Chains A and B, each alone.
Chain A
Amino acid sequence: MPVRVGIPRALLYYYYFPLWKEFLERLGAEVVVSDRTTKGILTRGVQHCVDEACLPVKLAFGHVQNLVDKGVDFIFLPRMVSVAHREYICPKFLGFPDMVKQNITGLPTVLDTAINQRKKQRDIHQFTRQVGAALGKGPIQSWLAFQRAWETHQKYMGLLEQGLLPEEAMSVLAGKEPKQTADNTDLTVAVIGHPYNIYDPFISMNLINRLRKSGARVLTADNLTEQMVNQGVKRLPKKLFWTLSRRMTGGAFNYHDQGKVDGIIHVAAFACGPDSMTGELIERFIRREGKVPFMNINLDEHTGEAGIVTRLEAFLDMVRWRRTAV
């Protein structure tokens, strides 16, 4: 029987799941994903995590517990230090495996090998070798597995850039036909936020689908190429050292500067450190020019659905009125 490796449906799942899945399966493991976010999963996460942590980390705690319940042999929680030159993810990602290990009891083995490409890209091989060794595979086999997985990852990123959302891109990768989105949209709205906030329908109160139902085409920073993102962040006085925030900020500025969108919605999680800085910068830069309507939504575990719906409706009405007026 193959070893069962659990991956939580949280944090960087929305970027790296196809890569990890392919990689681990090629190493002979069976990949188990935690269930879709529910109130129950979030509540369990909140119980085991310090109060001050941000919403996504609390949620990730809940998903890890869900995996513990499923009785997996390993939990795959790579320590995501850095995925780009001279950049980091965020301090909580750096410490996340330790937070989990010190706070959740009855854990199976945690695969917390570090991914640190801050100095050079090649450092990824150390990671593949160590994960391979943990699953009983040699360095060459692990390297080959990762190379093949990387191809899948490239394909996945390509699908995102075509405008698909992570869930849709994953189902396309799995061989399903992409769903035809109805073309009755009259607006384009950019939703800017961390992937684990905007793509999780429970956490984001189904924000993206609500927008679509209200007749808006939704774009996110992940629909842009790396080059376009970097174009966007150029106007900042200093390079941002958080990879995710750089993408978000660059995305927001790119959509703003190109005039491709009718409105921008920034989604921040309560107590998110990078959001408090970059959200402020995005808002100040966009408001100074006053070209594109902007709204900031803060999410926490108490967010009420009705409140979000009201704000979205008001925002879309405003965007539409504005367009008829201009």
Chain B
Amino acid sequence: MKVTFPHMGYMYVSLKGMLEYLDIEVVVPPPCSKRTLDLGMKHSPEFACLPLKLNIGNFIEARELGADTIMMAGGCGPCRFGYYAYVENEILKDLNIHYNLVVLEPPEKHIGELLGRIRKITGNRPWIKVIKALRFGYLKARAVDEVEQMSFQIRPRELVRGATDRALQEAVDEIERAKKPEEIPFALNRAREIMEAVPADMSRPVLKVALVGEIYTLLEPFSNVNIERHLGYLGVEVERSMMLSQWINDHLFMGLVKNVPSSERFKKVASPYLCHFVGGHGEETVGAAVWYARQGFDGAIQVLPFTCMPEIVAQSILPKVSGDTGLPVMTLIMDEHSGEAGMITRLEAFIDLLHKRKEQKEVLASW
């Protein structure tokens, strides 16, 4: 059995670590590329959201490397993601690509269904080992998140353009090489050292911008045309409302790990703008905009894939949030035609505006 899974940013580090810890053979699909997207676009429904198209591309490319089993998450609505796996499987079937499909989702009747599905992958390995593997995957996600967050702070202050990106990749590779839970602290230390070694002027003043929106387009740099990197080059310190480890803790562990940031802090402040959950991360997006406004951020950017239902609800409410709180908000919609140059122009214009606002505020404050 060769297991594969769709890409979502650095998620592969956790999943690969977890499966290899259980001695399961893993095929990591090639990183998302133009080819992935072209393959996906060609075979997916026109109005499906971008993540589905990239997933299809990932699976086709993973099959070329010999994968035969798909492991992915599911859900029970109302976001489309809950039905992704099945639609994707039907599309692949018509392409004569037959995968074993293992969807990890909340059970319909009782917990046994979920355990049974996990068994399909883990076979007869003892449960205690499976739990250890899950914990291992989570720790890796946390380690990767930490170096990613370091990169957000260093990138706008780096002295050599691109140095942070190279260091980040090295640091992530360092964490990926950890094969046992005991090795993670050492790997993380080395990763931190790599990041700290990037020459940077930490006293440089920067703007702070929050990235909010849909999880896939936030986490997968290919789908958001490297928005974090470009913001960094423009001298902006980014904060992402959604980190992988936070999502794992909120949704898979049901908040088991305490004292880490959780999306609860956003949900609490979403009302009165959006008083009900709308599936996906719509409520969190609205709440995050309010929350970051209160934290004194200079601006927020909402990122979503074209036709994303929950985020459209959020998008239509954000102008009101922006008006009430004074936080400039821009919405960027990602689809298969998103071009890097066009986005950079829009980012530059937005950041110019934020700079001007900040200057004005400082002048007024100095009177």
Contact = CB atoms under 8 A, between A and B. Distances in A.
Interface of A: 49-50, 52-53, 79, 81, 86-92, 94-96, 98-99, 102-103, 114, 236-242, 268, 270-277, 279-281, 284-285, 288
B273 A277 contact: no
B309 A92 contact: yes
B87 interface: yes
B276 A114 contact: yes
Contacts, number: 123
A186 to B, nearest CB: 33
B74 to A, nearest CB: 8
Contact of B80 (A277, A279, A285): A277
B83 A98 contact: no
B48 A277 contact: yes
A120 B100 CA distance: 35
A90 B47 contact: no
B280 A102 contact: no
Given A52-B315, A98-B313, A270 B47 contact: yes
A288 B95 CA distance: 12
B282 interface: yes
Given A52-B312, A239-B108, A240-B83, A91 B279 contact: yes
Nearest to B324: A102
A91 B79 contact: yes
A49 B316 contact: yes
A236 B83 CA distance: 11
B344 interface: no
A108 to B, nearest CB: 18
9 contacts: A49-B316, A50-B312, A91-B313, A95-B276, A98-B275, A102-B273, A102-B317, A271-B307, A273-B47
B45 interface: yes
Contacts of A275: 47
A275 B49 CA distance: 12
Contacts of A274: 80
Contacts of A271: 47, 307
A293 B244 CA distance: 45
Contacts of A114: 276
Given A95-B276, A114-B276, A276-B47, A241 B313 contact: no
A79 B78 CA distance: 14
Given A91-B279, A98-B274, 12 more contacts: A53-B316, A91-B79, A98-B273, A98-B276, A102-B317, A237-B89, A241-B78, A242-B78, A271-B307, A273-B80, A273-B308, A280-B87
A238 B45 CA distance: 19
A285 to B, nearest CB: 8
A90 B279 CA distance: 9
Contact of A50 (B82, B90, B315): B315
B77 interface: yes
Interface string B72-92: 001011111011001101110
A65 B308 CA distance: 25
Interface in B250-300: 273-280, 282
Nearest to A103: B316
Contact of B77 (A49, A53, A103, A242): A242
A102 B79 CA distance: 22
A274 B87 CA distance: 11
Contacts of B46: 276
A270 B46 CA distance: 10
Nearest to B283: A95
A272 B48 CA distance: 9
Nearest to B105: A238
Contacts of A236: 86
Given A98-B317, A273-B80, A277-B83, A81 B45 contact: no
B120 interface: no
B313 A281 contact: no
Contacts of A239: 108
Contact of A95 (B49, B91, B108, B278): B278
Contacts of B79: 91
Those 9 A-B pairs whose CB atoms lie nearest each other, nearest first? A95-B313, A241-B77, A88-B78, A276-B47, A91-B309, A280-B45, A102-B320, A91-B279, A95-B278
B179 to A, nearest CB: 35
A90 B309 CA distance: 8
Nearest to B101: A237
B276 A277 contact: no
Contacts of B83: 238, 240-241, 277
